[in-house]
Chains A and B, each alone.
Chain A
């Protein structure tokens, strides 16, 4: 199961992709940017566990944050909360699945099922 319906911003003039919100296209300068939903394979690029948070997130520690890449659109990366469950540990290269966005931004979870090779 690949990730589906990840909201990103696309420049209507030159087709560059960005993590929302972007107010102008850094490639062509256009302000005609739209939110589109994209699908693809999402992988952990790097990760950390936050144990000393900003005060507003004090009741959430420890929590995992990862940079997630979308293989189909090179250069597009998401700073995200990632949910891990049980024995399945977060590691660079592991596949994750998009589960939605909320006030904290993007959320992914480690892909369940067959162990990673």
Chain B
């Protein structure tokens, strides 16, 4: 298996990108990554694009060829869209990794994009809900926020914590987001603000839920032995995993653990030889406050039942035991669904290059966790600077 290295990164801000189309934001992020890598666009051997619901929201499909043509990529390369709801960007990255590590390509462009804020709330809610098993569970009226509310309720019951502990994740991530120019929300909130917020889906309130956003992010992946030719700050992908969970809440063997995350992490740790204790910085899928709590346990950073207390005690802040989501996470950046996974990779690369606006000191090893559907699919990537 050949080594794979990230040599270029690009990202638009996440948020309301008024007047900018899906094609425009994806093109900008890809061009930024290509320029950052210092490659010629004709060096690119394949293109993977993560996207979730552009067909429903902006009536545009076949978007991998669309963006490839917008960029003027070669006509002899495969341009493919991948979809796994909120995990689409992570899956695109992993597919690029597989093509290079398998020896089929030398340089691959991977990206994620979503354009959401031009569609109505009703259209967004309906479109996002299409990621559930509609035949089985969506029909009951359960939503994605509802799924995570069920997890939160059970989590508090099993481990004796309160929303004070779980929602401390929001306070920490919103504080981190203040410094991040790519974040949609850049204002701090207090725990009192969160606990008095509008009830959305009991027990989750407004700040416990990430906002929809527009955004795009892109990475140029390259065979490791070529990386030095292009960049002084290569970031090696040491491990990449993808796991399958259940498509419904009622099939989950354990509601307070996401099986897809556990499996993706197992693969990535095994491939890389890295252990949770070796990791310096983490970007994980905090679509809801409770998601970060469950994720940080499933990824092996805390024992089951400890995640919420750890956040409350400050162990996941910068300077704590393991800094989680120094970018502000989805709770601050917003969640342009198909772009999120690539955006998380972008943030960790900035950290490992020592260039992040909210830098974790001397970060050498980073972990990226992306989750899609109601626990249906997850990817984990482990990165290290040279």
List residues of chain A with CB under 8 Å of any chain B CB.
Answer: 19, 21, 45-57, 60, 63, 65-67, 75, 77-81, 92, 103-106
Please, how many angstroms separate the alpha-carbon atoms of A92 and B149 in the complex? 13
Please, how many angstroms separate the alpha-carbon atoms of A22 and B145 in the complex? 25
Contact of B59 with A by CB under 8 A? no
Binding stretch for chain A, among B62-70, B109-117, B136-144: B136-144
With A46-B157, A67-B150: A54-B141 Cβ-Cβ less than 8 Å: yes
Q: Using A65-B140, A106-B140 as known contacts, list a sample of 14 further A-B pairs with CB atoms less than 8 Å apart, ordered by residue number in A.
A: A21-B136, A48-B150, A48-B201, A48-B203, A50-B141, A51-B201, A51-B202, A55-B122, A65-B150, A67-B249, A77-B250, A77-B251, A79-B248, A103-B139
Minimal Cβ-Cβ distance residue in B for A104: B140
* Chain B residues, CB < 8 A from A54: 125-126, 129, 138, 141, 143
For window 129-169 of chain B, which residues contact chain A by CB distance below 8 Å? 129, 135-143, 145-146, 149-151, 153-154, 157
Q: A92 to B200, Cβ gap below 8 A? A: no
Q: B141 to A104, Cβ gap below 8 A? A: yes
* Chain A residues, CB < 8 A from B143: 50, 52-54
Q: A53 to B150, Cβ gap below 8 A? A: no
Minimal Cβ-Cβ distance residue in B for A66: B150
A selection of 9 A-B contacts at a CB cut-off of 8 Å is: A46-B157, A50-B201, A52-B125, A57-B141, A67-B249, A67-B250, A79-B142, A79-B250, A92-B157
- Contact size class for B? 20 to 34
* Chain B residues, CB < 8 A from A56: 126
With A47-B153, A79-B249: A63-B255 Cβ-Cβ less than 8 Å: no
Contact of B199 with A by CB under 8 A? yes
Q: A48 to B149, Cβ gap below 8 A? A: yes
Q: A63 to B141, Cβ gap below 8 A? A: yes
Q: A105 to B150, Cβ gap below 8 A? A: no
Contact of B253 with A by CB under 8 A? yes
* Chain B residues, CB < 8 A from A104: 139-141
Please, how many angstroms separate the alpha-carbon atoms of A63 and B129 in the complex? 17
Please, how many angstroms separate the alpha-carbon atoms of A53 and B199 in the complex? 13
Can you list the 7 inter-chain pairs with the closest CB atoms, starting with the nearest? A48-B149, A46-B154, A77-B250, A49-B202, A46-B150, A55-B122, A57-B141
User: What's the dominant secondary structure at chain A's contact region?
Assistant: strand
For window 85-137 of chain B, which residues contact chain A by CB distance below 8 Å? 122, 125-126, 129, 135-137
Please, how many angstroms separate the alpha-carbon atoms of A51 and B197 in the complex? 14
Interchain nearest-CB distance for B117 vs A (Å): 17
Q: A46 to B141, Cβ gap below 8 A? A: no
B139, B199, B248 pick with most chain A CB within 10 angstroms: B139
A45, A46, A57, A60 pick with most chain B CB within 10 angstroms: A46
User: B183-213 toward A: CB 8 Å interface, digit per residue (1/0)?
Assistant: 0000000000000000111110000000000
Interchain nearest-CB distance for B271 vs A (Å): 28
Please, how many angstroms separate the alpha-carbon atoms of A34 and B63 in the complex? 42
* Chain A residues, CB < 8 A from B142: 50, 65, 79
Q: A75 to B154, Cβ gap below 8 A? A: no
Q: A92 to B153, Cβ gap below 8 A? A: yes
Interchain nearest-CB distance for B106 vs A (Å): 41
Please, how many angstroms separate the alpha-carbon atoms of A86 and B386 in the complex? 64
Please, how many angstroms separate the alpha-carbon atoms of A20 and B3 in the complex? 45
* Chain B residues, CB < 8 A from A60: 141
Q: A65 to B146, Cβ gap below 8 A? A: yes
Pick from B138, B202, B250: contact of A78, CB under 8 Å: B250
* Chain B residues, CB < 8 A from A21: 135-136
Interchain nearest-CB distance for A88 vs B (Å): 16
Please, how many angstroms separate the alpha-carbon atoms of A81 and B136 in the complex? 13
For window 240-259 of chain B, which residues contact chain A by CB distance below 8 Å? 248-251, 253, 255
Minimal Cβ-Cβ distance residue in A for B158: A92
With A46-B150, A104-B140: A51-B255 Cβ-Cβ less than 8 Å: no
Please, how many angstroms separate the alpha-carbon atoms of A56 and B143 in the complex? 12
Please, how many angstroms separate the alpha-carbon atoms of A63 and B255 in the complex? 21
Q: B140 to A105, Cβ gap below 8 A? A: yes
* Chain A residues, CB < 8 A from B251: 19, 77
Q: B201 to A49, Cβ gap below 8 A? A: yes
A57, A60, A66, A79 pick with most chain B CB within 10 angstroms: A79
Please, how many angstroms separate the alpha-carbon atoms of A60 and B140 in the complex? 12
Please, how many angstroms separate the alpha-carbon atoms of A43 and B154 in the complex? 13
Interchain nearest-CB distance for B208 vs A (Å): 12
Q: B154 to A92, Cβ gap below 8 A? A: yes
